[in-house]
Structure 1
Amino acid sequence: MDKPLLNSASWSDALRIRKAHLNALLKTIDARQGKSSQIQTLTINAIKAEMAHIESQLKRRK
């Protein structure tokens, strides 16, 4: 089954929703402060990089 193509407005909405989801994940990981493992640090850095990429895509669409 083929997915319908997203128009510009719905694509921006999808990016905003993804960014909000990543932000919630980041808060969940950061909530457990204390001794963070190397994997947690890498995960946090990956989430922040993805959020920065989404932000650049949103700015480009404006």
Structure 2
Amino acid sequence: MKIRNKPIQNSASWSDTLSTRKAHLNALLKTINAGPGKASPIQTLTINAIKSEMTHIDSQLNRRK
């Protein structure tokens, strides 16, 4: 059985998807940064990865404008 992803129908829905993903990542970032004290090395790596992904999403959204 072959599973196919449904193609995105228009750029507006793709922009909505990216915006939703960015909001989700932002919420995760706030959750990770919520703890008091110094961040562990794993937290630092996770925070940097999330920020990098958010930057990538921003560039994709700007390209679609």
In the superposition, the TM-score normalised over structure 2's length comes to: 0.89
- Unmatched segments (≥5 aa) in structure 1: none
Identity fraction in percent: 71
**Hey, which bits of structure 1, 4+ residues long, moved more than 2 A?**
1-4
Q: Report the count of equivalent residues.
A: 62
- Unmatched segments (≥5 aa) in structure 2: none
The alignment yields a C-alpha RMSD, in angstroms, of: 0.9
Distance (Å, rounded) in 2 between the aligned partners of 1:30 and 1:48: 12
1:37: how far off? Answer: 0.5
In the superposition, the TM-score normalised over structure 1's length comes to: 0.93
Compare CA radii of gyration and give the structure with the larger one: 2
Greater relative contact order (Cα < 8 A, sep 6+)? 1
Deviations along 1:5-44, one digit per CA (max 9) or x if unpaired, are: 1110100000000000000000000111312110000000
Query: Which of 17, 20, 33 lines up with 1:17 in the alignment?
Result: 20
Look up the match of 1:35: 38
